[in-house]
Amino acid sequence: MASKVRLYVDQPLGKGQTVLLERDQAHYLFGVMRLAVGTVLSLFNGRDGEWDVEVAEAGKRGGALTCLAQTRPLQMPPDLWLCFAPIKKARTDFIVEKAAEMGAARILPVLTDFTNSERVRVDRLQAHAVEAAEQCGGTYVPEVAEPVKLDRLLADWPAGRQLMFCDEALVGAGQVLRDAGPGPWAILIGPEGGFSEAERKRLRAQPFAHPVSLGPRILRADTAAVAALTLWQQALGDW
C-alpha cells in the first residue's frame, strides 16, 4: 500500500538496496506515522534521486526498508548561496527552511558588525534544511556551513561567483541581476540593524558585488531573505 511519507537518509539508494533505520527514524515511521510492513514510502539522500521503498521490517528501535524503483532523478538547484546574518532563533530557522524550499544550494551564516545572535547551532539548522526538503518534495539538501565573519567571507571569496548585496539605500533589483548575467551567485542579507558603514563601503568596493534594493520599505531580515531569493530565481534561476 502507498504512503505519502518522504524521508531523508544518509545511505546509498539503488534497486534492491536495504536501508537500515536509526532509532529516531523508526520511531517516526512506525510510532508516529503508524506505517506497517508492506507500506511504500519515498526516500532520498541528496545524491541518488527519489526512490519508492517498502517497509520490510518494523520495530520500535529499528527497521529495514527495501528500495523498489527510482521515481525521480536528482534535481540540483541553481548554484546559489544564501549568506545571512543570524537573528533570533525562530526567525533564523525560518530563513534556513525557506532557503531550502526556494532552491539555495548552500546556506552560510555570516557574522557582521551588528549581528546580535552569534551562537549558531549548525547541526540544528541542518536538520531544519532536511525537514524542509522532505516537505517540499526536493531531492537535494543544501549544506548549512559553519558561521564565518563577513571580512573573512569577502577575503576568501571564490573567483567567478557574483554577489547580490541587498542594500535598502538603493532602488531596483531585477535589471541589475539580468545585466550581470547567469553563473554562480550568492545573496547576502544583513542583520536587523543593517550593515555598518564600513561593511557597506567594503561591499561596494568589491568587483563581484552588485548592490540591489528590495523595495521602498525596510524589510525584516527573514522577509528580506525570501524576497531576495524570489527576485534572483525569477531573473536568473530555475523558476
Q: Write down the domain spans for the chain.
A: 2-72, 80-236
Average pLDDT value for residue range 53-74: 95
- What does pLDDT average to over the chain? 91
The pLDDT assigned to 1 comes to 46
The strand pairing partners of 54, in sequence order, are 40, 66
What whole-number percentage of the chain has pLDDT above 70? Answer: 95
Q: Sign of torsion, CA 29 31 32 37?
A: positive
Q: Which three cell numbers stand for residue 177?
A: 541581476
In angstroms, rounded to a whole number, what is the distance separating the alpha carbons of residues 26 and 135?
18
The pLDDT confidence band at residue 18, using thresholds 50, 70 and 90, is very high
The pLDDT assigned to 68 comes to 97
Query: What are the pLDDT digits (tens) for 156-174?
Result: 999 999 999 887 655 555 5
In angstroms, rounded to a whole number, what is the distance separating the alpha carbons of residues 58 and 62?
7
C-beta separation of 214 from 165 below 8 A: no
**Domain 80-236 architecture:** 3-Layer(aba) Sandwich (3.40)
The pLDDT assigned to 223 comes to 94
What's the predicted TM-score (pTM) here? 0.89
Look up the CATH number of domain 2-72.
2.40.240.20
The pLDDT confidence band at residue 3, using thresholds 50, 70 and 90, is low
Q: Three-state DSSP class for 108? A: strand
